[in-house]
Structure 1
Amino acid sequence: MGYRPARYPQGAPVLKPRDRHLLRRFSYGLTPTLTRQVKRAGGGSDWFEQQLDPRRVPDKQGDKSGWWPSLDRGPQEIWERSRDGVEGGWEVMGDYQRAVLMRRIHSRRQVLEVMTELWENHFNVPVNADLVYTWRRNYGDVLRRHALGSFSQLLQAAVTHPAMLLYLDAAVSTKDHPNENLGRELLELHTVGVGHYDEDDVKNSSRILTGWSVDRFRSFAARYNAEDHWTGSVQVLGFTDPNAGSDGRALTLRYLDYLAHQPATAQRVARKLAVKFVTDDPPQQLVDELASVYLAGDTQIKPVLRALVRHPAFRSAEGQKVRDPGEDVAASYRALRVRFAAPPAGSAGDPYGANAVLWQSTTLGTAPFAWPRPDGQPLDNASWATPSRLTSSMTMHWSLAGGWWPKEGVHYRGPRAWMPRRRIRFDKLVDHMCRQLLGQTSTAALLQACCQACDVGPRDVITYQHPVVRWRFHWLIGTLLDSPEHLTR
């Protein structure tokens, strides 16, 4: 039997391959609505340029954090409620993870969300680390504000933020006992990388950061304690300063700006972007070009992204990146256009879809910002292309395709809602569903897989009374969601 794909010309529009590739890398999944937005913008490049200025993109429905009231509480109140057994910090962090997933699913500012995730992993503060729950939601908001600005300002905002100070022990660092955790990770992970510094650099890096603190176990207010700042001459790499004053805040900002402008930092940032958006082993020429743009642009991120998407290596890397668990969850819900309701407070809200998405992501391998080490969640394919991950994804796709779990606080489109008309040949139905779920037309491989899954022939006529509509439609949806076209980005 031949599996020549048919076309359903009345179906959802599709993008040119290069535009589709751009959106798969810089969004959490294609939808017919997103495709129309791209076409209205004039194409992928114009859409991308609009996305680089999020203020130009209305996003009234993107932020669902109001569904979880504790995310708007201040650090002291969150701490006191946890201390008194009213609501654990881990519960607040679970709600933060859910709000993040909801934003990825619903936001029209897709590039901003993708970049925010990238930087929250680069400057990783695990949501389950001690005491960070008091400040972790604010930390994510701060990084979002800087996600498309300059890396120098992003670095300054991340390193001096109370969540980072709490996580890497700078909040308890003093001039008499400088804690080296943040000073070391700043060099090893956030900027220049291993091989570009020595232990003396780590010590002086840590001394520069003394004074930044958090009022732990009381108000949890961020503060600067001048009496805790180490004074005396410091040198890190080529950065030197007499460090004579007790207020080292300006010194810290100068130091971080120096690190942001280092060629080694430019290389690390460029490589991270290339691995995330191009391929696991990007050509050195691409990394060098991006690093050059980064330095020439005073560490501005937008010019680097523009150079990346214009590069031939990006255009030729279609299908080479695997979606990680969080991306798969977001993309699946986006493809199926599931509608969510705000969950009620307490245990009554546990089965609601907006809460269940966190367990789905965890089952697939990880939840947002739960990576336990400061190096952040991996970006490579091998970490997310295991057999157990694949079977877990298939299980999730099957549950969503059938509308079986979650069942409360969600609305799924039924088979008849997906059918473009009452009678349609199966090969044309597959093309219609490929346009709806994958943002592309059918292929011979997809048609064959759908025929075999649903036990029908390409030219069989499907009606509302056909078994495909009555009880096999989730087989069709699940097959498309299990395809490489959905599992890669």
Structure 2
Amino acid sequence: MRMSPHPAPADVPAEATPERASRRALVTAAVGGAGAAAVLPAVAPDRAEAASYRPRRHRGTPLLGAADRHLVTRFSYGLTPGLTRAVRGAGGGRRWFERQLQAGQTDAATRALASWWPSLHYSPQKLWQRNIDEVEGGWEVMADYQRWLLLRRITTTRPVHELMTEFWMNHLNVPVHADAVFGYRFDYDRVVRARALGRFSELLKAAITHPAMGMYLSNAVSTKHHPNENLGRELLELHTVGRGNHYDEDDVKSSARILTGYRVDMWRTWEARYRPEDHWTGPVKVMGFEHRNADPDGRRVAEAYLDYLAHHPRTAQRIARKLAVKFVRDDPPQALVDTLARTYLRHDTAIVPVLRALVASRAFKASAGDKVRDPVEDLVATYRALGVRVTRPTRPVENPAAVAILWQSDSIGAVPHDWPRPDGAPIDNDSWSSPARLLASMDVHFTMSGRWWPNKGIAYREPVDWLPAPAVRFDVLVDHLCQQLLGRRSTSALLKACCQAARVGPATRIDREHGVVKWEFPRVLSTILDSPAHLTR
């Protein structure tokens, strides 16, 4: 790790003077309590030491109250000063949330991104031809799609809609690198995105019959002579009622037969259309759903079947529990799940009333800090917190930062919609809480705080730009940085960790010529970003 070229100031705390504090020790100090015990044994400071790290307050712009901060943090990709102003301008967190739920809004902040990668808008036929001509591989198109998603999440002004689009694409997972789906995967995003705050019944019909889903789970090649059971099985097991809920192999076979006819001319024209001559006809029965299924055009029976599954009480329970795990905590109270399921059914599978009931619940209000950010959420929140701006490529895919952002996400442990199995990526804390993931996140926080990588095609704030005044006490500076990066005040633990990182005392006067600004600022910023306040949502 890079060492500072200047000696330690005289007012460095005693425990930091012998040598630079390790990143591990800094995280321990920043975490405190039970979190610290998971890293190193906690050592209780004496009263004099505790008093020396009493935070000072910077009088910045007004912050959100705890309840509003919790709501906005849980339903966004990271609180920023700009988002704080938007929430306050809306009249508080609940009013902001209601505006976010309104249909028909445009996301002006992300509109320009659509032109950054023109290949995303090409037809499946053109993408395939470019692939076989070795002009642009399908995997390259999908990597650009993932970068587009990351930049959308960094810049969006409609985070609730963006989060729900992500949630449903994970629930109805079509991996971006699944065989052959690159021609239709961006359109699949469009279809899910348009219905992310609508009715699940309509979303389910559109997603299950989409060519991308059909190719991924083999329904695109399923015929009446050789029905493929992949999609029919996963539809029951993962997308709706859930595994083990009173269906058997005969139900799975009928499920597959109902879905025959939705074909894609794979490896040739890539045309997607419904072919009545490929639809299996005859009586079908899946749990409580029965149909004569006599018409070669089976689209009506498929829609009726999907509508039945969407309205099934077990589907309501499954969707309700998954929303509660994502937005409340890993072990949501059954009473909350029951309330959300009833709301879902009472409103004809509409999602917005369920989200309203969720945020109004006691369980949600009591769950602040209970959800760990997954690697993608961490990276996006870090870009947002640092206020960096990725510049538009002069030519497609020639912005080094736009390329690097996907590598960064992969280095932490996950990239958007790359989970290879149909069950979608985990949304629980344990899956994303390993020591290896924490160290990888710390590395990204540090390299970005130092403006070292990515360092082209991106605009960072200079260290002097973070100073709230020409000269300021270090403890006041830390409070200002906490407000900017976390949307909250500093704590004794964070102040102590920052003092150790910068090798200064709380009362040290900092100006643009001070060594903290010249050499140590990346360590101060990354210490705050390594804290639980940033790593949780």
In structure 1, what is the Cα distance between the partners aligned to 2:112 and 2:294?
45
Q: Which amino acid aligns with 1:134?
A: G
1:451 Cα deviation from its structure 2 partner: 1.0
Which residue of the partner structure matches residue 275 of structure 1? 325
In structure 1, what is the Cα distance between the partners aligned to 2:250 and 2:68?
49
Q: Which amino acid aligns with 1:136?
A: R
Match of 2:185 among 127, 136, 140: 136
Is 1:227 matched up with 2:274? no
1:121 Cα deviation from its structure 2 partner: 0.4
Q: Which amino acid aligns with 2:323?
A: L
1:218 Cα deviation from its structure 2 partner: 2.3
Match of 1:126 among 169, 175, 179: 175
Q: Which amino acid aligns with 1:300?
A: A
Which residue of the partner structure matches residue 219 of structure 2? 170
8 Å contact kept, 2:116–2:396: no
Is 1:392 matched up with 2:440? yes
Which residue of the partner structure matches residue 261 of structure 2? 211
In structure 1, what is the Cα distance between the partners aligned to 2:441 and 2:103?
31
Match of 2:465 among 395, 417, 423: 417
In structure 2, what is the Cα distance between the partners aligned to 1:396 and 1:156?
40
Which residue of the partner structure matches residue 6 of structure 2? none
Which residue of the partner structure matches residue 185 of structure 1? 234
Which residue of the partner structure matches residue 487 of structure 2? 439
Match of 1:35 among 66, 81, 84: 84
1:33 Cα deviation from its structure 2 partner: 0.3
1:54 Cα deviation from its structure 2 partner: 4.7
Which residue of the partner structure matches residue 353 of structure 1? 401
Bigger shift: 122-131 or 61-70?
61-70
Q: Which blocks of at least 5 consecutive residues in structure 2 are unaligned?
A: 1-48
8 Å contact kept, 2:117–2:396: no
8 Å contact kept, 1:232–1:243: yes
Q: Which blocks of at least 5 consecutive residues in structure 1 are unaligned?
A: none
1:221 Cα deviation from its structure 2 partner: 2.0
Q: Name the SS for the 2:510 alignment partner.
A: strand
Q: Which amino acid aligns with 2:380?
A: A
Give CA-to-partner distance per residue, 1:386-405, whole Å, 9 cap, x none: 01100000000001100000
Is 1:97 matched up with 2:146? yes
Which residue of the partner structure matches residue 137 of structure 2? 88
Give CA-to-partner distance per residue, 1:196-221, whole Å, 9 cap, x none: 11111100000000000112122212
8 Å contact kept, 1:62–1:108: no
Q: Which has the higher contact order (CA 8 A, sep 6+)?
A: 2
Q: Name the SS for the 2:335 alignment partner.
A: helix
Counterparts of 1:36-51 in structure 2, within 5 Å, are 36-51=85-100
C-alpha RMSD of matched pairs (Å):
1.1
1:13 Cα deviation from its structure 2 partner: 2.5
Counterparts of 1:301-340 in structure 2, within 5 Å, are 301-340=351-390
8 Å contact kept, 1:51–1:57: no
8 Å contact kept, 2:109–2:155: no
Is 1:374 matched up with 2:447? no
Q: Which amino acid aligns with 2:381?
A: A
In structure 1, what is the Cα distance between the partners aligned to 2:84 and 2:94?
13
Q: Name the SS for the 1:235 alignment partner.
A: strand
In structure 1, what is the Cα distance between the partners aligned to 2:526 and 2:397?
30
Q: Name the SS for the 1:240 alignment partner.
A: strand
In structure 1, what is the Cα distance between the partners aligned to 2:491 and 2:323?
31
8 Å contact kept, 2:222–2:260: yes
Which residue of the partner structure matches residue 297 of structure 1? 347
Is 1:53 matched up with 2:102? yes
Bigger shift: 49-58 or 69-78?
49-58
1:343 Cα deviation from its structure 2 partner: 2.6
Give CA-to-partner distance per residue, 1:371-423, whole Å, 9 cap, x none: 01000000011110001100000000001100000011000000111111110
Is 1:451 matched up with 2:499? yes
Match of 1:114 among 141, 163, 172: 163
In structure 1, what is the Cα distance between the partners aligned to 2:155 and 2:109?
10
Match of 1:4 among 39, 44, 54: 54
Give CA-to-partner distance per residue, 1:445-469, whole Å, 9 cap, x none: 1111111111111111111111111
Q: Name the SS for the 2:108 alignment partner.
A: coil
8 Å contact kept, 1:63–1:102: no
Which residue of the partner structure matches residue 200 of structure 1? 250
Q: Name the SS for the 2:290 alignment partner.
A: strand
In structure 2, what is the Cα distance between the partners aligned to 1:62 and 1:333?
19
In structure 2, what is the Cα distance between the partners aligned to 1:476 and 1:219?
56
8 Å contact kept, 1:13–1:435: no
1:63 Cα deviation from its structure 2 partner: 5.2
8 Å contact kept, 1:62–1:107: no
Match of 1:69 among 118, 122, 134: 118
Give CA-to-partner distance per residue, 1:267-291, whole Å, 9 cap, x none: 0000000000000111111101100
Give CA-to-partner distance per residue, 1:121-141, whole Å, 9 cap, x none: 000000111000010011011
Is 1:463 matched up with 2:511? yes
TM-score computed with the length of structure 2 as normaliser: 0.89
8 Å contact kept, 1:65–1:96: no
Bigger shift: 49-58 or 104-113?
49-58
Q: Name the SS for the 2:330 alignment partner.
A: coil
Runs of 4+ in 1 over 6 A off after TM superposition: none
May I ask how many residue pairs the two structures share in their alignment? 486
Which residue of the partner structure matches residue 43 of structure 2? none
Match of 2:314 among 250, 254, 264: 264
In structure 2, what is the Cα distance between the partners aligned to 1:240 and 1:482?
55
Q: Which amino acid aligns with 1:13?
A: P
Which residue of the partner structure matches residue 152 of structure 1? 201
- When Rg is computed on C-alpha atoms for both structures, the one with the higher figure is 2
Q: Which amino acid aligns with 1:66?
A: S
In structure 2, what is the Cα distance between the partners aligned to 1:135 and 1:416?
47
Q: Name the SS for the 2:104 alignment partner.
A: helix
In structure 2, what is the Cα distance between the partners aligned to 1:358 and 1:63?
19
In structure 2, what is the Cα distance between the partners aligned to 1:348 and 1:26?
32
